[in-house]
Amino acid sequence: MMIMKAAFIRKYGGPEVIEFDNVEDPQIDANSVLVRVKAASVNSLDAVVRVGGYKQFVKKFPHILGVDFSGTIEKVGEKVNTVTEGQRVIGFPILHDNSCEYCKEGYENLCKSFGVIGRDINGSYAELISIPKENVIPFDWDYIQASTIQLSLLTAWHALAKRVQLREGMNIFIWGGSGGVGTFAIQIAKLFKANVITATSEEWKAKKLKEIGADLVINYKEQDVLSKVMDFTNGRGVDVVIDSLGPDTLNTSIKITRKGGDIIVLGVGIKESDLTPINLRNLYIKYIRVHGTVIGTKKDLKQVIDLVKEGKIKPVIDSVFSLKDVREAHKKLEKGERVGKIVLAIN
Ligand SMILES: [Zn+2]
């Protein structure tokens, strides 16, 4: 029996429940691959798994956290001919059956057997990960950068390019602009020549968000979000809101959206509960469309790999930790003391 280092949980709770220790090497079957992980970025999803927000999906303890990764193929199952040993790959986060009506239409993110790496199976905070062959895509650039794009960039791209077709001159408000999805969403919106408004409570973050491309950064602790948005849009409201915080922000999102505008809900923050009261009268009188969206498709991931390779989108790396310091990385994530992605460097 071979052993590897991994970061896992044996109970739910704060960053302190994450353990870093030896576990057995994962096994592969005929249709899966073993990847030697080089880098794994930290996502809010990992923290939601950790606090117990996905109890119904976590099958057993110890459970290894982590959805995003980049690495090299260590070993392939006997029926795998799509990738070869030594090849550089990143993960496609969604477990899917490739056969249901949604998969056949190319919407793996709606698969009837939908699952997520690091939630339904052991994740990437480890020296090795075993996953289905459908869940790796070759790439040929930097491991640290590549580990940041799967969940965050894929989600932002699918939301802005597929759920709403963002166009030149549109106004968009992005909650959580300094997060992983947020820093990518700002860049995608600028790529489509939209005007970007975001909000933060700290000056150092506001400065970085402007560097990334935000046209207006509102200090939501000192300024009134609604009146600042109305000033910027000549009293009209924004065309699109990206809301990744949900319970705390959805009613403000409804207020700042123009009549007939779109709100994209793609997360609820790091919480165990996702319930919130919303003002339905405001919603229907303003003729607003609310879109749910989840991650993205494999085709989208191939597109964003090219966008990063061509330099059109640049991952914003906040910090890099070694795997043994995973608790510190999660504390940083939870306190929101970051702009962009937090990465765990592994092998
Ligand atoms: Zn399917």
- ipTM of the complex model: 1.00
| HSE of 206, CA atoms in CB hemisphere, 13 A | 12
Q: pLDDT tens for residues 296-317?
A: 999 999 999 999 999 999 999 9
Residues 262 and 289: beta-carbon distance below 8 Å: yes
How many A from CA of 345 to the centre of ligand 1? 32
The alpha carbon of 161 and the centre of ligand 1 are apart by a number of angstroms equal to 22
pLDDT of 153 > 90? The answer is yes
Do both 254 and 329 map to the same domain? no
Question: Which tokens in the block code for residue 130?
Answer: 């075993």
| pLDDT one-digit tens code per residue, 59-111 | 999 999 999 999 999 999 999 999 999 999 999 999 999 999 999 999 999 99
Strand partners, 341: 317
Residue 245 lies in a domain: yes
The alpha carbon of 54 and the centre of ligand 1 are apart by a number of angstroms equal to 20
- Per-residue pLDDT of 223-240, as tens digits, reads 999 999 999 999 999 999
User: Which of these, 75, 53, 74, 60, lies nearest to 8 by C-alpha position?
Assistant: 60
Same domain, 144 and 174: no
How far apart are the CA of 298 and the centre of ligand 1, in A? 12
101 and 66 together in one domain: yes
Of 244, 279, 245, 285, nearest in space to 261 by CA: 285
| Residues 43 and 143 reside in one and the same domain | yes
Query: 123 C-alpha vs ligand 1 centroid, how far in Å?
Result: 21
Note down the domain range covering 285: 153-292
Q: Is the pLDDT of residue 275 over 90?
A: no
What pLDDT is attached to residue 246? Answer: 75
Closest to 89 (Cα-Cα) out of 98, 80, 100, 79:
80
From ligand 1's centre to the CA of 77, what distance in Å? 22
Q: How far is the CA of 104 from the centre of ligand 1 (A)?
A: 7
SS (H, E, C) 311-326: CCCCCCEEEEEEHHHH
Q: Parallel, antiparallel, or unpaired for β 128-132 and 257-265? A: unpaired
Q: What mean pLDDT comes out for the span 40-69?
A: 96
Q: Please tell me whether residues 159 and 225 are part of one structural domain.
A: yes
pLDDT band at 272 (very low <50, low <70, confident <90, very high): low
CA of 300 to the centre of ligand 1 (A): 16
Taking only the tens place, the pLDDT of each residue in 191-211 is: 999 999 999 989 999 999 999
Q: What's the CA-to-centroid distance between 107 and ligand 1, angstroms?
A: 8
Mean pLDDT score of the chain? 95
CA 100 to ligand 1 center in whole angstroms: 4
| 7 plus 143 within the same structural domain | yes
Least confident of 35-39, 273-277, 318-322, 328-332: 273-277
Residues, CB-to-ion distance under 5 Å, ligand 1: 96-97, 100, 103, 111
Is 255 within the bounds of a domain?
A: yes
